[in-house]
Amino acid sequence: MPKMTAMDAAVRILESEGVRHIFGIPGAGILPFYRSLKDLGTIQHFLCRHEEGAIHMADGYARAIGTIGVCAATSGPGASNFVTGLYTAQVDSIPLLAITGQNVKAQLGREAFQAVDIAAIARPVTKKSYCVQEPAMVPWVFREAFRIMREGRPGPVLIDLPLDVQKGEIEYDPETDSRLPVFTTPPDTRQVSKALDMLLSAEKPVMLLGGGVILADACAEFLKIAEILQIPVLTTYMGKSGIPWNHPLAAGGVGIQCNTRMGNKTFLESTLVLAVGARFNDRHTGAINVYKGNRKFIHIDVDPGQLGKNIMPDLGICADARLTLQALLAEISRRGIKAAPAKTEIAIGRAQMERKTDYENVPIKPQRVFKEINGFFDEETVFVTCIGLNQIWSGQLQRIAKPRHYLDCGGAGPLGWDMPASIGAKIARPDKTIVQVVGDFGFQFCMEELPVAVMYGVPFVCIVLNNGYLGLIRQAEKYNFDMDFEVQLYYEAQAAGAGMAEARMAAAGGGGTVAVAASSAKTPAPLGKKGSGFDFVKFAEACGAAGERVTEPGEIRNALKRAVESGRPYVVEIIMERDTDCPMGASIDAVKEFE
């Protein structure tokens, strides 16, 4: 049997499992792995600027094409910087492999340099984490990791590799090794039959499309059932893109934040909910008593831990979404059920209840930005967004027509996820226009990854909604705590605040020097003027990208056109009205609207 290093075997396994790109940063604790990566030469590596950026790139890559994302980092802080990305992937069910270096086995537990027990740290936020103790175990661990990531509810795995394990020589024959089989859970036919009985007898049934339908590539089956039975389709936020926004049965989104008026109305009028691949998380349901009401629930999910966790279903089916929907279609066919007459009232109601976007205000209203986004980009565009008012407006207003064309982190919501995820998505889908929609604060979290896109020639459009605020927290402070405290990103405003604090110190005996500082505090200048805050355009140019600032609503579309045609990473900063509030509420029947 051929002999090779454990890392030579590991890299060959990665290749045979379909890995074509890896995102990471080499360091002393992971160099044997990088040596094997270099020697094989068939997997492209992207050098990132921070490990959190690397794992978010792998995440965006995985979501864009439904594959496994891979990232690598050295030991200690390099490995621990992966934790947020692992948590994000776990809660959103994204298959992601994190490979970390480690000090030699003899130094484990001795507080050696950069020798943290990352396998233990990562255990709560992964499907499985390993610290491999023997070189001969490496091939089996890597093969099992890919099976675990793919099987059942997808999710992340971490493999920690001590240096002496990486360097160890083993016997391994790539010609006789292959992928481990992945078991796909089929549904119980009796449960499928009962589900159809419940749907047919319900007065006002709805179908709820969760993110699991997209992950299972089951959108076509889901929509076919809805079309035959003419049942309105609602989406969770993670299910956005699973049905074309303009489909006759698309009633909209349900939630206390990322919702549509028609979506919440349709849900509240329903008597039965067929939910597929949904977690019923708090941002979706809001007040559980309102959400549950007197309606019945059928819940289909491959993860048994989801059934009854937040909503106790009247019928729970623990099985693969696609297999279950296929079985439901087969049962419909077996019974000879013919397609019901097409409904038109859903599309009419959806149009009547759309939120206003055609504002002409200066500064620009955020709703107008999304009107321009919807009008300019076609249905082949892939959008990426993250937490904040920018995400909520996006969830409420953006029109998406195809699965995997709207990438968002719904469960963890780590600020900064969207820029590296956009880069990863573009590497996965070079044929697509990738557009990031981000707030001015979120941009500044992982902005160090913009040079990665420049370095490797990865063009994408970054739309920055700049209101000079931590907008979501500003709104929460305003309505829940009656304050506007430490949420302004506007330098002169902060300087004025600091001046007032220093004046108070001077009055208390802090000294004349402080009093002089207070007297020189500036009066806040209008947002977007020189010196008023972070300059996104200059930052883009400093990184080697391009950018421009937009202050008039009529300028937005041409700026987007220039961004796409540039063929470069391009930042479009849009100066917005500072304190626009976004519709939301504590329950789906009490969402406060703002016009």
pLDDT in tens, 113-123: 778 999 999 99
Least confident stretch, 333-347, 488-502, 511-525: 511-525
Whether the upstream peptide bond of residue 154 has omega within 30° of 0, thus cis, is no
Q: What is the 3-state secondary structure (H, E, C) of 65-97?
A: HCCCEEEEECCCHHHHCCHHHHHHHHHCCCCEE
Q: What is the pLDDT of residues 512-533, one digit of tens each?
A: 333 333 333 333 344 545 446 7
Across 169-188, average pLDDT = 95
Q: What is the token pair recorded at 489? A: 């990103």
What is the C-alpha to C-alpha distance for residues 102 and 97, in angstroms, rounded to an integer? 16
> Which pTM does this prediction carry?
0.91
Q: Where in the chain is the domain with CATH 3.40.50.1220?
A: 189-352
Least confident stretch, 56-65, 517-526, 530-539: 517-526
* Average pLDDT over all residues of the chain: 92
pLDDT score of 506 more than 90 = no
**Closest listed residue to residue 235, CA positions, set 205, 200, 196, 267:** 267
pLDDT score of 279 more than 70 = yes
**Closest listed residue to residue 383, CA positions, set 391, 470, 375, 595:** 391
What is the C-alpha to C-alpha distance for residues 206 and 254, in angstroms, rounded to an integer? 12
Q: Where in the chain is the domain with CATH 3.40.50.970?
A: 3-176, 366-490+527-575
pLDDT score of 578 more than 50 = yes
* pLDDT computed for residue 414 by the predictor: 93
Measured from the Cβ of residue 115, the count of other Cβ atoms closer than 10 Å reads 19
CATH architecture of 366-490+527-575: 3-Layer(aba) Sandwich (3.40)
Fold of 189-352: Rossmann fold (3.40.50)
Q: What is the helix (H) or strand (E) element at residue 386, kind and residue range?
A: none
What superfamily does domain 3-176 belong to in CATH? Thiamin diphosphate (ThDP)-binding fold, Pyr/PP domains (3.40.50.970)
